[in-house]
Amino acid sequence: MTATPRTHRDRALRIGCASGFWGDSEAGAAQLVQHGQIDYLVFDYLAEITMSLLARARAKSPEAGYAPDFVKVIAQLAPRIQAQGIRVVANAGGVNPQACASALATALQAQGITMHIAVVEGDDLTDQVEALRAEDTREMFSGEPMPARFLSVNAYLGAQPIAAALDAGAQIVITGRVVDSAVTLGPLVHEFGWDWNDWDKLATGSLAGHIIECGTQCTGGLFTDWQSVPGWDNMGFPIAECAADGRSVVITKPPGTGGLVVPGTVGEQIVYEIADPRRYLLPDVVCDFSDVRLAQEGVDRVRVSGARGTPAPASYKVSATWNDGWRLLGTLMIGGHQAAAKASRVGESILQRCTRLLDERGLPGFTETSLEVLGAESTYGPHARTGHSREVVLKLAAKHPQREALELLAREIAPSATAMAQGITGFAAGRPSPSPVVRLFSFLVAQARVAPRVSLDGQPLAFTPRPLAAQDNGRASAPDSHRTSAAAPAGPTVRVPLLRLAHGRSGDKGDSSNVGIIARSPAAYAELLRVLGAEVVADYFSHVALGPVTRYELPGLLALNFVMERALGGGGVASLRYDPQGKAFAQMLLDLEVEIPSAVLDTLP
């Protein structure tokens, strides 16, 4: 078919995001289509580990390997989507985007509906693994060599092939692995005709995508001040309202829905899962978010401005996954007097018993074990404040190269109910089952080694990525001053938890966690700069963070971002922790008490 004429719009474009992960509420798409007055409906399904799960599914069936939820949702909404002229972009293709497109086309045809479906591929680099191994490719964070076998190997593509598909007339674009923000940036470049070297516009569009990519996380979901957020039962999914000048974006949600769009909710999402805010690396642009500003522009409307961009990186990041044995995680509830102490002894005894039984069978011991007593604040380490819980949950986990060893452990958990402490219960769910340990292996490849491909309605499109004015993406900006000031505050002081001064959000990238802390006033930010250095955060999380901690400043948001390396026990499903993604780290840090001038409290809202 002929390409869509490039007559670029002069009105704002409304892009709604209906999914922040594979498993998000199916209600989001219907809400946005029916009440959002949107031009584009976008979906983000692919967490790093999701690719390995989809690869495993495709190994069992050549027609699997994508997010079937997407096909179901779009098929149900297709009449309205078509009638309203809404276009759809989703990374639902996983490791099999062609099968996803075929399944959707079949579902639409069953309703007598025809829509032009494009597919973006080229992210799968499995066929290059041995060549990369021969070049001694190393993990970009740990320096480790490649494992013997991968489950998935996918480069993070950018927005160029998405924009090309839309230029050619696609009504639905299905991709494999792309950076999360690309599903938003692609439509913006297509609609407004932005040049691929207009770095500031690309940075603004990418920031819009970063804010809405996690769905309701920017409309009140996970907000520190959760008491102020209404309507959790009907949370509004986010809409990015973008203008052609690319100077700013307004974040909002459908009217009449729950949630809250204020600078605090949007700001927390901006600091989520980032590292150096001056060098947020994407395939199309390197973004500087350090001077981003937020302004309330009406009820549930926040204008975001100040993003800056520089030339794109010289390489694509590749996310590969591999199987490193097996793990098992089980839980028990234990009640009564000294419940926490009983739980600790129960967990230790089960592991000791199983270690003895493994030895008797000629099997090696567990490679790693983990005990956490939930309800006794064991995840807080030395900062735990309660030791008198009468009702706790024991989480017991272990790793082993052989599934057989963990099946033994699964069988030996229940006997504790008759052999150990009184008050053990919680077996209704049955025995836990061993699951594969999937580890992440990240590395960089030159742009020239990756060849994105685009097809429309099953026919290949002539597409050649525009070479970008690439720069070295290994260079990081200098971290901000990381130590606290020795100067004592002037005047009367008061000791308060950080929560009084700030709110925050934490996230993960592999085995690293970031904690973003946002001040509630300029005076509070000045105090954060003084009292909250990297060494303070490193000390506070010393029970979990094994690597260095770096502090970055975002003066536009009145925020600090702390990146903690080797802080998640391997991260994702490679970790034995109950919080393998550091989701609670920000809340933990907000309990830290600091001494500040009493007058600062008068500046807080």
Q: Is the pLDDT of residue 16 over 50?
A: yes
Q: How far apart, in whole angstroms, are the C-alpha atoms of residue 127 and residue 130?
A: 7
**Helix (H), strand (E) counts: the chain:** 16, 26
Average pLDDT over residues 89-118: 97
pLDDT given at position 472: 53
208-266 per-position pLDDT tens digit: 999 999 999 999 999 999 999 999 999 999 999 999 999 999 999 999 999 999 999 99
pLDDT given at position 285: 96
Question: Strand, helix or coil at 163?
Answer: helix
Q: What is the DSSP letter of 305?
A: E
419-460 per-position pLDDT tens digit: 999 999 988 778 999 999 989 999 999 998 999 999 999 999
In DSSP terms, which residues pair with 328 in a beta bridge?
398
Please, where are the H alpha helices in 213-262? none
368-389 per-position pLDDT tens digit: 999 999 999 989 999 988 768 8
Question: Strand, helix or coil at 271?
Answer: coil
Other C-beta atoms closer than 10 Å to the C-beta of 568 total 25
pLDDT over 90, % of the chain: 85
Quote the Cα angle for 533-538-541, to 5°. Answer: 130
Encoded tokens for 181: 């923000």
Element (H, E) at 269: helix 263-270
pLDDT given at position 1: 43
Q: How far apart, in whole angstroms, are the C-alpha atoms of residue 432 and residue 330?
A: 6
Q: Is the pLDDT of residue 5 over 50?
A: no
Q: How far apart, in whole angstroms, are the C-alpha atoms of residue 77 and residue 54?
A: 25
536-549 per-position pLDDT tens digit: 999 999 999 999 99
pLDDT given at position 585: 96
128-177 per-position pLDDT tens digit: 999 999 999 999 998 999 999 999 999 999 999 999 999 999 999 999 99
Question: Strand, helix or coil at 535?
Answer: helix
Q: How far apart, in whole angstroms, are the C-alpha atoms of residue 228 and residue 193?
A: 40
Average pLDDT over residues 58-84: 95
Q: How far apart, in whole angstroms, are the C-alpha atoms of residue 67 and residue 286?
A: 29
Other C-beta atoms closer than 10 Å to the C-beta of 130 total 10
pLDDT given at position 6: 53
Encoded tokens for 143: 């320096």
Q: How far apart, in whole angstroms, are the C-alpha atoms of residue 119 and residue 176?
A: 8
Instruction: Enter the pTM of the model.
Output: 0.93
pLDDT given at position 470: 59
